[in-house]
Structure 1
Amino acid sequence: MKKTVELENARKVYRLGDEKVVAVDNISLSIAEGEICCLLGTSGSGKSTLLNLMAGLEKPSKGKIIIKGKRVDKMSETQLALFRQRNIGFVFQSYNLMPMLTALENVSLPLTFRGVPLKKRNQLAAEMLENVGLGKYLKHRPMQMSGGQQQRVGIARAFVSKPPVVFADEPTGNLDSKTSLEVMGLMLEMARAHQQTLVIVTHDPGISKYADRVYTILDGNIETILENH
């Protein structure tokens, strides 16, 4: 199976005064095209730093980060921005929606950056909001929606341009258990439908059960790898 995300001896060290803090300690792993992968760990385990390295949001202190065959750790900020626009979607714990924009405008943002014409991007954004059960909320702004509805908008935005890879950082962290199940179901359904690679960071073992493969992260290292069948 084709590899979509690869890490080779990735290491991230932060300096706090005279101290060194090793957040990610020489991790190597690969995630296949269409795989649902989970990085599971408690707060401070290094899982979010690992996700940020994968997504090119942070540079490793050493090692290689490869997405779709490209060394993202060697890209300039401009190259990275263009690469992410074409290849990566994000779902955030705190939704990260633009408060002054409607649901339709928030979802169409990634298409705007890709130069998709207004009529076409509004059509695609409306279809995606319909898919996540928000067809009646196109004109609503974030403050007019519940947390679960805002996260659905966030999912629609991440998937609207059908990026090969979607990273989800604690996507259910602010949601109740029922809404969490709905949100996970939506993300999996979309990723499976388009053979997208989905990488989920969570502290919740219940969420990890949705993944094909679970990496348990502890103190910046991979402690265990579990295959879910």
Structure 2
Amino acid sequence: MGNIIEISGVRKVYRIGNEKVVALDNIDLAIEEGEFCCILGTSGSGKSTLLNLMAGLEKPTRGHIKINGTYIEKLNEKKLALFRQNNIGFVFQSYNLLPTLNAVENVSLPLTFKGVPKHIRDKKAKAMLEAVGLGTHLKHKPSQMSGGQQQRVGIARAFISNPAIVFADEPTGNLDSKTTKEVMNLITSIAREHNQTLIIVSHDISIASYADRIVHIMDGNIQKIEAVQKN
């Protein structure tokens, strides 16, 4: 398989007052189509900045990021939003569900933005919720669900458009160990089934063990990349 993401010479510098803070120094990284890659590092290591750059949420100070053949740093905001809509799904640590919407409505949001008719998006959303074990919670709002259930809704939303790439930023950070295992098994099984590329950012080595490769990042630099041995 070919590379779906290619990062070359990426540097990210933030200006805080008169000071420059180097978040990423000189990053080179290639990720294959269908790969599960974990970006592992402590708080402040630059891992979330790297994810934000790959997801097109921020632009690099220098360097290139090619996703699915497109140099995303060259896209304007409108084209970038469209690119994300067509290629990328997100799973967030804090779930990011809209409190006034029920599970079906939250999951169908990406399809709403694409202009998919309501009866089709509702049908797909219900099927996704059943796939993540929430077939009895279709009309529940976030306040009526546990953290694990809310994250399952978040997972269903991320995958509903069948994106080529799913980014997950500390997706189990607010969950207990049992729910963490359930959520990780769910994310990986859906991605494997559809040959989707999965990139997860974490500080937790037990989460990294699910990946095909672990990219260790510290002080804005990649320290090493290791393949995970599967039992």
TM-score for the superposition, normalised by structure 1: 0.99
User: Which string of whole-angstrom CA distances, capped at 9 and with x for unpartnered residues, describes residues 60-119 of structure 1?
Assistant: 000001110101101000000000000000000000001100000000001111121111
* Percent identical residues: 66
Q: How many residues align?
A: 229
Aligned pairs (5 A) from 1:1-229: 1-229=1-229
In structure 1, stretches of 5+ residues that fail to align are none
How many angstroms does 1:54 deviate by? 0.3
DSSP-derived class of the 1:226 partner? strand
**Equivalents in 2 of 1:60, 1:199: separation in Å?**
18
1:113-134, CA deviations, whole angstroms, 9 ceiling, x for partnerless residues? 1121111111110000001000
Q: 1:179-216 deviations in whole A, cap 9, x for unaligned? A: 00000000000000110000000000000000000001
Tell me how far apart the structure 1 counterparts of residues 58 and 164 of structure 2 sit (CA, whole Å): 20
The aligned amino acid for 1:141 is K
Range with greater deviation from structure 2 (38-47 or 107-116): 107-116
- What is the deviation of 1:6? 1.1
1:224 Cα shift?
A: 1.3
Measure the CA separation in 2 of the matches of 1:188 and 1:56: 23
State the one-letter code of the partner of 1:83.
F
Q: For the residues of structure 1 that align with 2:3 and 2:75, how far apart are their CA atoms?
A: 19
Moved over 3 A (4+): none
The structural deviation recorded for 1:228 is 1.1
| AA of the residue aligned to 2:133 | G
Report the Cα distance in structure 1 between the residues aligned to 2:187 and 2:103, rounded to whole angstroms.
18
CA RMSD between the two structures: 0.6
Counterpart AA for 1:202: S
Measure, in 2, the Cα distance between the counterparts of 1:75 and 1:23.
Answer: 22
